[in-house]
Amino acid sequence: MAGVSQLPAERSLFTRPWPIASSHYKMTDQYMSYRDQQVIWHPYTQNHWGQYSIGISYAEGSYIFDDEGNRYIDAISSWWVNLHGHCHPFMIKSVLEQMTRIDHVIFAGFTHEPAVQLAEKILAVLPRNQSKVFFSDDGSTAVEVGVKMAIQYWVNKGIPKKKILAWKNSYHGDTFGSMSLSGRGPFNAAFNPYLFEVEFLEIPKNVHEVQNLVQNLSDDFAAFIFEPLIQGASGMRMYKADVLNQIITACKSRGILTIADEVMTGFGRTGKLFAMDYVIEKPDIICLSKGLTGGMLPMGLTTCTEEIFEAFQGEDTLKSFFHGHSYTANPLACTAALASLELLLRRSTQESIARIENQHKKFILKLGTHPRLLSIQSLGTILAMEWKVKGGTSYFSDLRDKLYQYFLSEGILLRPLGNILYIMPPYCISTEDLEFIYERIMDALEKF
């Protein structure tokens, strides 16, 4: 079996991708894929079909390599987490140095320099109304923390507000609280009897619809949670900043706390550092994860205003926020986040983000109105296109599997959301690789 270290010299990191080796599907215990199938339960996977997971043995920059030596362009940043490319030397060096000082320490009653520095630096780039940082483990738990903060805020103030608002078709995570906040559908149908009640709103298309929606808002809602400007997992649905701004303004006028789920949109994905940078009104609570550590280690953050923090202070111990995780503020993850943030703020990274954004726009203009597409749009480094399929848009469209396998065969990792194909690359992706992806998309439009 060829390992990456055995690749011929001419197969450099900058050559075009190679086809996928068929041996991934051989039933033999010498392959990682076969061994994996015997012992591992993968996420979002129907194991009954006996599909093999591709064994990855090496990753660098915007590429991942399997145990056959095949190379794939990671065009979705490995589920949106990888900002600067795999195994970035600066991030590795930073985390290795931290490992010689503190690996992990309890964060209740203790603190450490990486956590303090990260909180300081994150607050410096977030909207100015954000005052405190709460650490957790991932995007779903960051959202759980945010909603618990909002609910207990009103409990601590002695005001009976329990109802939550969210956008229809939203996605906020897979733990029970975040599932409750997400649109109801096949993925959480088994748990519906256990989810708390949420009122879901259609995203208004224009100012007139916003005004109608605002008139029906009551002040007995505790909070409104939203994915700013783009709903990710439900199909990369994009909406206007002025619509969101007016909704937040209306919520504030009625005493409804606002929670921005920036788990996907944060750290440059939308072209600005945060999606909320497009909006005049700022949220009370912000949830962060995914790109936070540049894809190196798991971590979530929830930030809030000083007003929310103060509602938990006082002589009454029961007003405390009783929430925590074993690996809260892990020093290694904090260090990875600090290194990632430093890279993100460099001029070269900001120029790369702008380059990707411009390339997406040029591709959209080049593609024009294509008969196979219902829509194509971009926001920052995210490009999404909806393919026409029988039966309408669906996450379970069989087009998903056809496109997924096709792009893998071309050496590109793209993971369509049903009939919606999207690109969300690491910022280090080359102009040539992006053009190669666009070319393969053009080919796919003729094939499928």
Q: For a pLDDT cut of 70, what percent of the chain falls above it?
A: 93
- From start to end of 300-390, where are the E strands? 300-305, 373-379, 382-387
Asked if pLDDT for residue 16 goes beyond 50, the answer is: no
**Domain end marker among 345, 378, 411:** 345
Q: At what angle do helices 347-367 and 331-345 cross, to 10 degrees?
A: 70
**Which residue is catalytic, options 153, 290, 422, 438?**
290
> Sorting pLDDT into bands at 50, 70 and 90, what band is 14?
very low
Pair 329, 369 in one domain = no
**Which residue is catalytic, options 29, 44, 316, 366?**
44
Pair 73, 95 in one domain = no
Pair 62, 19 in one domain = yes
Active site includes 132?
Answer: no
Is residue 138 exposed (0-12), middle (13-18) or buried (19+ Cβ within 10 Å)? buried
Pair 296, 383 in one domain = no
Q: Looking at residue 207, what is its pLDDT?
A: 78
CA atoms of 159 and 27, how far apart (whole Å): 62
Active site includes 290?
Answer: yes
Question: What's the Cα-to-Cα distance from 232 to each of 71, 265, 383, rounded to whole Å?
Answer: 26, 8, 11
CA atoms of 313 and 333, how far apart (whole Å): 28
pLDDT in tens, 250-307: 999 999 999 999 999 999 999 999 999 999 999 999 999 999 999 999 999 999 999 9
pLDDT in tens, 386-414: 999 988 878 888 999 999 999 999 999 99
CA atoms of 391 and 116, how far apart (whole Å): 52
Question: What's the Cα-to-Cα distance from 447 to each of 306, 411, 441, rounded to whole Å?
Answer: 55, 17, 10
What are the residues whose beta carbons fall under 8 Å from the beta carbon of 57, sequence distance 6 or more?
3, 4, 32, 65, 66, 67
CATH number at residue 319: 3.40.640.10
Asked if pLDDT for residue 19 goes beyond 80, the answer is: no
Q: Which range marks the domain in which residue 401 is found?
A: 4-87+347-447
Pair 364, 234 in one domain = no
Instruction: Kindly report the pTM of this predicted structure.
Output: 0.92
**Which residue is catalytic, options 31, 63, 171, 427?**
171
CA atoms of 246 and 239, how far apart (whole Å): 13
Question: Is 226 in contact with 259 (CB distance < 8 Å)?
Answer: yes
**Domain end marker among 284, 319, 345:** 345
CA atoms of 446 and 297, how far apart (whole Å): 39
Pair 219, 291 in one domain = yes
CA atoms of 439 and 422, how far apart (whole Å): 14
Q: Looking at residue 29, what is its pLDDT?
A: 61
CA atoms of 381 and 384, how far apart (whole Å): 10
Asked if pLDDT for residue 15 goes beyond 50, the answer is: no
Asked if pLDDT for residue 209 goes beyond 90, the answer is: no
Q: Looking at residue 430, what is its pLDDT?
A: 98
pLDDT in tens, 321-341: 999 999 999 999 999 999 999
pLDDT in tens, 115-146: 999 999 999 999 999 999 999 999 999 999 99
**Domain end marker among 345, 375, 404:** 345
Report the domain count for the chain: 2
- Quick one: tokens of 312? 């938990």
Pair 267, 125 in one domain = yes
> Sorting pLDDT into bands at 50, 70 and 90, what band is 8?
very low
CATH number at residue 404: 3.90.1150.10
Q: What is the mean pLDDT of residues 212-218?
A: 81
pLDDT in tens, 157-169: 999 998 999 999 9
Is residue 241 exposed (0-12), middle (13-18) or buried (19+ Cβ within 10 Å)? middle
Asked if pLDDT for residue 68 goes beyond 50, the answer is: yes
**Which residue is catalytic, options 66, 67, 261, 433?**
261
CA atoms of 341 and 225, how far apart (whole Å): 25
Q: State the average pLDDT for the chain.
A: 91
